[in-house]
Structure formats: structure tokens, C-alpha cells
Structure 1
């Protein structure tokens, strides 16, 4: 007869260890005859012996069974429920002291002429019976499974959660609806479906919130009814209660979110302080860290929009961009440290590293280029285009600067048009500057110090123009002569047109007056000539 034993232990079994119920465990086998044919639908006798220490060790328990194989040659019996044929009982076996082996013998005719069918070590065994001595009432133990996976599994079949404990403390639960919770108090209060939590107290307070996923220490800990949230990382979305459709990846990401919805935080400390703000996106270490109620902000880059509190609809791309912004809204900053110092300014646009860096409360500014408008602080409606393009006054408004002091050429295909409508002008009066002022000017030719080619330029020296203005009784202010915050002078050359026109008019008046005098003198001269001619004629008469 074939001497190998085909055994399939039912690994998922319940061991009852109390005074009223015997010690039992299920045993499954395949029966074959000497020709290796399955013994099907036949009454057979089976003897089970428990051997100690090794496969030929001493018999510690033996019993016999009468059973019937099925159409597949499979037989099932319960060890502990057979007819004992040796002293002792199954309950007297000290499962915790040795290795044990099960020896199976059968008589295909159903008699007592048993032939050993095989011996196999109990790798998955009823050592849970040993729990009787440690005070537990039920347990599972296994060293591995083989055979039919439909029956050899760890779990239950009574539609109740499968719970896990470590040191007798709750450590995990798989519900009958397929939800999985692993970690101390993870999903402890959950009543909803389709949520998963892994980590200490992850999703602990969740009640009816559905389709949530929490991975990490206290991730989504306080969530109660919020749905469709995803939290990966220590304390990610920790205090979220009813907020829904939030995504938090990273330690402390969206940690204090309460009712905010549809936020996405990727990175350590991103949207850390957000409570009710919604529609925010933060990507990068501590980006939007202090945001509380601000909504619809986009921050990409380390420290971007870090201190934002209530500002909304801001876009910050680049490390440190809009770092100090707290209540400012509708700002766009692209580039490292772009709009770094903005606090309350609104509707600003800055593109380039360090662009509009120092502006705290200025609004409606546009900076395009590295360091563009980087010196502006509170000024509004300023435009700076180009590398280090800074307007004359850091606090002034409505200024435009294209390029820096190194620019040597500026061209445009058509003439500039300056608005000059009477309707947009006030304090209109005749210019006091005319010929007298023009005559005080000193036209010069020069080259700029920043121009290595020493290209000649024609114009004036601003300080000399200032002197001409003062001696003409005009106090300088913003206009023809300007002085920036660095003390450098500038001229608005178009403002020379009016004095030049007036000087021509004054000169023309002088010319006209002189013309009239000349005409009168010519008349007088003609009269004198006429009189002289008449006098000469009289003297010539005979």
C-alpha cells in the first residue's frame, strides 16, 4: 500500500477549551488504495495517533474513526471525537512541551486491520489548545498552509469582523464588508463602509464617513462624516471632521483641517494649519503651512505661501514665493523668492527670481524679470520689465521702468503716443518757462559710463537743468527733473518741448516787434529821403 500520506489540515478552526466541551480539531485527508487509486464513496476505518518528539516517537494519544469518503476520495474527521484505543486523552497532551506528529492508518474494508498510511509533523497544529493553561478561551495558530485554499485559511465564516490583538490590545480589524483597520484604535468607531486605515488611531473617530483612506500615525484621526479623503503620513488630516475629497501626503499635511474641502497637500507640513479653506493645492515642504481659511490658492515649491492665513486665489510657484503673504489675494508669483515679502497686497503679478521681493502692501504691480521691482515696498500700479528694472521711488505709485541702467539702446518701430486729452488734465495754466529758461540751458555731448563703446549722446546735465529751473523761479518737484531713492537725477525730455515752443513764441514776438519798428523806421527813412530830395531840388533852381 502507498505509504505517503496526503493530509490537509483545516487551519482555520475554533478550539473550545472549557470544562463542558472536549478538545477538538478538524482533520482532512485523501484516501488511495495500493494501486494509488482514489477510494471513493466507501466506508473505511481510520486510526489516528499523536506521536511525540519525532515521527517514530512515543504514542501520546490514539483513537479510531468510522468515516465515508466522498466522490473525490476525500475524508474528514474530527480528532478528539473518535473512540480512544489507548490510555489518556487528547486534553492531557502537553502541546507546549514538544513537537508532535500525526500518524494515520486505514482499513479500506472498514475493519480493524489498519495499515500505516503515513506520518506528518503537525506544523499547523492545535497548539491553541495550550491556551487553556494561559487563560485564553480561543485562538488560532499556524506555521503555514498547504492544500485547498478554500478551506485552509485564517479567518472566520460567521459574518463578523476579524480582530487582531498585540499584548491583548486591539491591533487590527477586517470587517465583513471588506474594510481594513490596522493599528491601535484604528477605525475604532467606524460604522461606514469602504474605508481603510493603517496606523495608530488612524480614522479612530470616523463614524459614517465613507471611502476614506488613512495611512500613518493618527492620520484622519478625528474624521467623523467626511468622505473620500486620502491621508498618508503621520498626523495627516488629523483633525478633519466633515471635510471631504481632501488629499494629504506627508507628515502633518493638512493636519488641522476641519471642514475644508477638496484640498491637496503634498509634502511635510503642507497646509498644516488649514481649517476651513477649500480648493487649495500645496506642493513642497511647508507650503501654505499657516493657511487657515484662505481658499483656491496654489503653492508649488518649498516655503511657498508659507505664512498665508486668509488670502485667497493666489498662485505661488518657486521656493519662498509669496512667503510672508497673509491676507493678500489674487496675486501671482512665479520664481524663487518672487513676492517674498508681500503681506497684504492684492492683484500683483511677479515673474522671475526675486521679482517684487520687498513689496509688503503694494497692489496692482507687474514685475517681469530677475529682481524686477525688487526695491518697491508699498507702491502700487507700478510696472518693471527686465533684469533689475526698478522704478525711481520704492513707495511711489503709477511708475514704469523698462530695463536697468546698463541698457544702451531702446527702440520702437513707431513713435510713442502720449495721452494728452484735456479731460484727463487738471490745474491747466500757461507755462512760466520760456526763452529765458532755454537760454540758461547748456547743451552737451557725452557718453554713458556703462557704455563701453562710448557712444555719444546729446542732451543736458540734470543738475544744470535744476539750477536753470531754480534761477527761473521754479522749485523742482516730480516732473522735468526727478531724483530717485538712490539720489540719481533724471530728466523727462519731452517736458522741454513746451518751454522750447514758448521760447520760440517769445522770440517770434520779439522778432515781430522788431519788424514793426523796422517798418516804421523804413517809413521814416523814406520820408527823410523824400524831404531831402525835395530840398535838393529847390536848391538847384536857377
Structure 2
């Protein structure tokens, strides 16, 4: 699986309104894998499609690109200058309907494209809009349009000022002189006398000219002291309680089946191809992390969509139940109210499948063990240290073959 491209820049190529307008839109992005690691120095294929009216609309134009990422996973393409697959870029009618940009990628540089997503052009690219509408412009009075230039055709026009005072206008176009003989007296010419110093000392906020505010409450601070909604002391934050030995403590006292038993709720309302909500934890200098996440059903890769995950890119994961009677349960499915327990590891290390009280290192209840490979079987070690694999022949008879003991 690979993670979506992170689009960094989508902007029109530089153009001059009165010269030839380039047919292209500069697109820049970073290619990453599902861990967020950049795909560096790698050939990738892109298929870029411009859709009409909606994310599921008809194709106005489609093209493909084969590009190579740099040492940071960065790549650049110009939309409109790839290998055309449907229609031509010059014939896109930017003035009709909304336009949507669809991006697909094959990180191996082939044509097995995966959809990354569809996003709307929030504004029509100005240069292309202008190109389509330039011929429909009409000049008003005193203005001519010649070869793409706007020209003042009546420069010798009268200019007048109305109002009181002694302002005079002299000269001719385009060199006018406007003169006001009467001076305006400004009583306050200082640029600094309004500046004051702000200070905070002994719970008093003061400005240098004497005004001040006294804060009667000293830390700890409360957002609501009566209900202890939020409490802050020594940089520790407590919610639902007035004490915290940690940077953040959240407490509640809900009973029964109340909805507010959820003390911390994280939600990502996005429904795009990369939507997920996650908590990331790091320690030390390595930069490795553990992530607890839930992936949206709209996620681009269906094998992960609507799944929850616990993921580490460090040395591994430890799943433990450290009580002397602790067990680890694996549950799937449900009877509509409670999930079914499918497997457990008890406090002695016995594994039970279909049973809650395994009596051996592996016990399977209400089910079979199926070995599909006819060359595989059960390996057993004899008292003298030799190992044998037990299989069966076509008549169902056991066959034993001596093999090297597994390391």
C-alpha cells in the first residue's frame, strides 16, 4: 500500500496578459509510502484528468506523465504538457461549469493507476479564462483596444475639483499640477507620545502612564472554578478534577450506559481519500513512533478502509497482560450485543482456540486443524534428539520422515 500524494503547489505558469499564454498548469507534490516516508529517486506514473461539473463528471481532458522524484520525494509536472489520452488541453472550456482535478498514481512507473482523489478548481485559471474571453471585450468611451493593449483615445479632457479651499489645477495632460496654498495646522506632531510600556508584576497588568488592572486570582487558574471544568497549575492541565500530576488529566464520573462515558473523542470529518484520525507517540532521539488510529471508509486503499490499527515503526509491539491471572483475548464478530471470543492466551502461556480454558500449549475446540500442503505435517522430536515429520499417504496411513530439527 502507498499513501496519498501531498499536493504542495498548484499554480498557473507565469504569463503576460498581452502575449502568448502558455498552455499549462504547474503541479508539484511529494510522493510518500503509507508510513509517511518519501519515495526518493524513484520513477512514478501520474494520470491527470480534468472533469466537468462534478467529481463524477464527464472527462474534459486526460493526460499521463512519467516523472522521477528527487532526493526529497518531490516531483514537478505541467498539466497540459503530458501525453494526451483524451481530448486536448487547448480546447477545455474553462468558462462553462465547475472543473475538478483527478489525480491517479502508479508508484512503480507503470499504468496500474490508483486513485488518490478528486479536488475542485476553486477558481478558474485566470490566464485561460482571459484567453477565451479576450475577443469579447468591448471598449468604452475614450478607450481603444489595439493588439491586446488598452489605449486612452481622448487624453485632452477637462478635470475639475469641487469643494471649498484654494486648490488650483494647472498644466496639461499628462503633467498636471495640483496646488493647495492653505496649510493645515497639526496640533500634535509627535509620533511617539502615544507609545506606552506594558508590564505585569504581582498579578497587576499596568501601562506606563498609570492605568492598571489587578488580577485577584493567583494560580491555579480555573475556567469554571465552581465545576472544575478546566484547571491549570504548574503547566499541568486537569479536566473534570482540580488536581493533576501529569501534563494532562481527564476525569469523569459517569455510570450505566451513558454516552458521556467517552472521556476523549477524536474525529476527522474529512471524507477524502486520505482521511483518518490518529494519536502519535514518540520517545527518545530515534524519531520512531507508535500510532493508534482509525481509518475512514473513504480511504483510497480498500484493504485498510474503515479499519482501526495499532502501528509501530520501531523494533516491534508488546501486547501484555501483566496481572498474575491476566489473559489476552481475541474477539471478532458479534451476536448484536457482545462480540465473540475466538482465541485467548492465558496466564500460563497456553493458547486456546474456541475454548476459554486451554489445557495445553495449544488446544482447539469445536474445529479442525487443516494442513493444506501435502509436504507439510507435524514435527515431533524423539527422546534421542532426532526430529521426524508426520504426514499421511493416499490411503490415510501415517508416514514419518526424519528431518533436521528446526533451529
- Give the TM-score category using the shorter length: 0.3 to 0.5
Normalising by structure 1, we get a TM-score of 0.26
Whichever structure has more helix as a proportion of its residues is 1
Question: Which one has more relative contact order, counting CA pairs under 8 Å at least 6 apart?
Answer: 2
Larger Rg: 1
Whichever structure has more strand as a proportion of its residues is 2
Normalising by structure 2, we get a TM-score of 0.33
